[in-house]
Amino acid sequence: MTVLSLARDALATGPVCDNCLGRLVADRSFGLSNETRGNALRVARALDEDVDYEPADDCWVCETECDRFDWWAEQAVAAVHGYEFDTYQVGTKVPPLLEENDQLLREDVGLDPEAGELMKSEFNREIGKRFGEATSGQVEFGRPDVLLICDLATDEIELQVNSAFVYGRYRKLERDIPQTRWPCSDCNGTGRVQGNICGGCDGSGYRYDESVEQLAAPHVCDAMDGTEAVFHGAGREDVDALMLGTGRPFVIEVDEPRKRAIDTKALEAEINEAAAGKIEVEGLRRTTYDMVERVKEHDASKQYRMAVAFDEPVSADALADALNELTGATIEQDTPQRVSHRRAAKTRIREVYDASGSLDDDPDESTSATIEVHGAGGLYVKELVSSDEGRTSPSLAGLLGIGAVVTALDVLAVEGEEEPFEQDEFFLS
């Protein structure tokens, strides 16, 4: 089948616009629009048959919807008014009748149903191209900042504003502050029990008045003029533990942001001033959705400092020998009793990379010590000390043969096992 015979057969089906005609041969001669292809076929057919050239003024296939690319682009530009974005994607809902017409034309001229280009694809491209030119946005087919769906049946545009993300690290400088909001278990976060104010949370619905999330996320949400903010941390420390040193990586996800290009240095200073020494954030940077997955799923090694109390005096030599045995050891840990209500019962295998420490007060013998442990992600370090009634083996208590308990815990560093979190590929300028 020649393109000339194809044009003749297509035009014999009834009035067909240049776009619908050109879509039949969209896989030929790249660099041309379908409208240009269709008009060329119309001219060639007129020349070949020596008949008057008749431009298209109607179309049974698209019902002249292809004349409205400019109009749709204008509606799309209006839909994103007030939103900052760098990337976009345009989609189209084509009415079933028009999709059926598109297929009928191919059948009538003897083409494969997937030949050329489908109507929906042309609408996406032509409207998207015009929208991009009007807004200076860049098309993105993965996860764009904004997604616009043009509904040809209703003449409406559905706007989806995808989340924005800010990465950073936090230090928690006071104990008894959870990482995220902690709903009260007595009232299931409602603040009331059997119609009365809950005594467990004084009606607030939360077990703790503040969290790292509450101290940081609202500021990011306000800066981006979003509707809500969600906190994603690279693991979490116990509520009674400090997070010191290099801090813990986190990402704050802001829903439906109107602003994206924010001053992260000013935002960092604002959060730290408002937190008044309870937490500190640093290294705030705009990032991508990929960093959320990395922060949540990547196992990170951690360094801890612990104050330990023993049931009986321990000698410096015995402590040193026990810590040497733990260094490089493979630890088997059944789910600790303290988290068994929210963690599946299983045995976890974790590595201790290094363990060191010294006695407090008396250099030769003492009932307390300060130790530091560098271990694999997911290592329960409190149980590494206490043994959790034998659920963790080996343990410091087991090696010493006396009871031991952590009285204070500080997290000093959280780093990726294989590579650092801070990689340029995840960040936006």
pLDDT, one tens digit per residue, over 167-186 is 999 999 999 999 998 888 88
User: Which band of pLDDT confidence, cut at 50, 70 and 90, is reported for residue 425?
Assistant: low
CA distance 397 to 183: 34
Q: pLDDT tens-digit profile of 27-55?
A: 988 889 999 999 999 999 999 988 888 88
User: Which band of pLDDT confidence, cut at 50, 70 and 90, is reported for residue 423?
Assistant: low
User: Which band of pLDDT confidence, cut at 50, 70 and 90, is reported for residue 345?
Assistant: confident
| Per-domain residue ranges of the chain | 3-161, 164-297, 300-416
Phi, psi for 384 (deg, rounded to 5): -60, -30
Instruction: Provide the pLDDT for residue 41.
Output: 94
The reply to whether domains 3-161 and 164-297 share a CATH topology is no
User: Which band of pLDDT confidence, cut at 50, 70 and 90, is reported for residue 429?
Assistant: low
Between 415 and 5, where is the model more confident?
5
Q: pLDDT tens-digit profile of 378-410?
A: 899 999 999 999 999 999 999 999 999 999 999
Q: Which CATH class is domain 300-416?
A: alpha beta
User: Which band of pLDDT confidence, cut at 50, 70 and 90, is reported for residue 262?
Assistant: very high
Length of the chain: 429
Judge whether residue 211 has pLDDT over 90. Answer: yes
Q: pLDDT tens-digit profile of 304-335?
A: 999 999 999 999 999 999 999 999 999 999 99
Mean pLDDT of the chain, nearest integer: 92
Name the architecture of domain 3-161. 2-Layer Sandwich (3.30)
| CA-to-CA separations, 421 to 212, 233, 281, 294, 414, in angstroms, rounded | 20, 12, 16, 8, 10
Judge whether residue 419 has pLDDT over 70. Answer: no
CA distance 185 to 187: 6
This prediction's pTM: 0.84
Strand partners, 94: none
| Percent of the residues in the chain that have a pLDDT greater than 70, as a whole number | 97
Judge whether residue 359 has pLDDT over 90. Answer: yes
Q: pLDDT tens-digit profile of 55-71?
A: 888 999 999 999 999 99
Strand partners, 289: none
Active site residues: 238
Q: Can you tell me the mean pLDDT for 9-32?
A: 94
Q: Tokens 């130790």 appear where?
A: 371
CATH code of the region 164-297:
3.30.70.2510
Cβ count near 419 (within 10 Å): 10
Instruction: Provide the pLDDT for residue 52.
Output: 87
Closest CA to 184 of 202, 207, 204: 207
